[in-house]
Structures are given as C-alpha cells and as structure tokens.
C-alpha cells in the first residue's frame, strides 16, 4: 500500500487530502502520476499532477504523522477564520445599526424648515 497526501486547489479552506492507493505509475518524462485503486471491485485510475503531490510513501506511520500535523494546522487556521467571520458579522451588524440610527435622526431633522429637501413637499 502507498499513502498519498495531495494538495487541493479547488476547495477554499481545504488544502490537502490524504488517501491510500494500491498501486501507482510514474515516470520521469511525465508530469502526472497515475494512482490505481479498487472501488466496488473495479480498478479505477486517477491522474494527479506531480507538483500537487505533497507526500507519496510506503511508511504508514510517517504518513499519519504528517497528515495529523496538517490537520492540526488546518484546524488552528480554521478557528482563526471562524473568529474573523464572527467579528466581520458583528462589525456589519454594528454598521447597519449605526447607519439606520443616523438615517432615522436625519429623517426627523429633514421635516424642519432648515433642511432643503424637495421630496418632503410631496
């Protein structure tokens, strides 16, 4: 068995995937590696660019160590992203509240004769 960690480019906030394959085919003259695995008793092949392969090993212990290290880092960064999202949502709520209060104050003020506003005559 071979253990693979592949870099992900298509999914934001998920930059790697780990999987096990039974066989791989690679050559120096090709920029892809072909991974073979069994799925529902059928052999399937997946082509992956060499540059996207972070780790290809037969050492399961090393694979799990690196995979866990990446997961710990990813989880820590995800927590920071979640915190930033919460802060952004709070800032947007505050912005909306403050702007609505300001507009309400102005709407009260525009009814006075001191504010030139054409629409108040309609």
Using the predicted structure, report yes or no on whether residue 121 has a pLDDT greater than 80. no
Q: Is residue 35 part of a domain?
A: yes
Write the pLDDT tens digit of every residue in 76-97. 999 999 999 999 999 999 999 9
Domain limits for position 55: 2-106
Do the Cβ atoms of 4 and 56 come closer than 8 Å? yes
Count: domains in the chain: 1
Q: Is residue 114 part of a domain?
A: no
Give me the mean pLDDT over the 9-35 stretch. 90
Q: Is residue 19 part of a domain?
A: yes
Using the predicted structure, report yes or no on whether residue 113 has a pLDDT greater than 90. no
Q: Is residue 69 part of a domain?
A: yes
Please enumerate in sequence order all residues whose Cβ is within 8 A of that of 9, keeping only pairs 6 or more positions apart, or say none: 52
């Amino acid at each position: 068995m071979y253990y693979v960690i592949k870099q992900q480019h298509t999914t934001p906030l998920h930059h790697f995937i780990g999987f096990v394959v039974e066989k791989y085919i690679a050559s120096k003259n090709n920029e892809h590696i072909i991974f073979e695995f069994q799925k529902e008793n059928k052999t399937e092949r997946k082509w992956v660019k060499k540059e996207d392969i972070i780790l290809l090993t037969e050492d399961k212990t090393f694979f799990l160590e690196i995979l866990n290290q990446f997961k710990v880092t990813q989880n820590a960064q995800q927590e920071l992203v979640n915190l930033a999202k919460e802060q952004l949502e709070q800032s947007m709520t505050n912005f909306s509240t403050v702007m609505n209060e300001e507009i309400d104050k102005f709407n009260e003020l525009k009814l006075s004769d001191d504010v030139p506003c054409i629409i108040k005559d309609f």
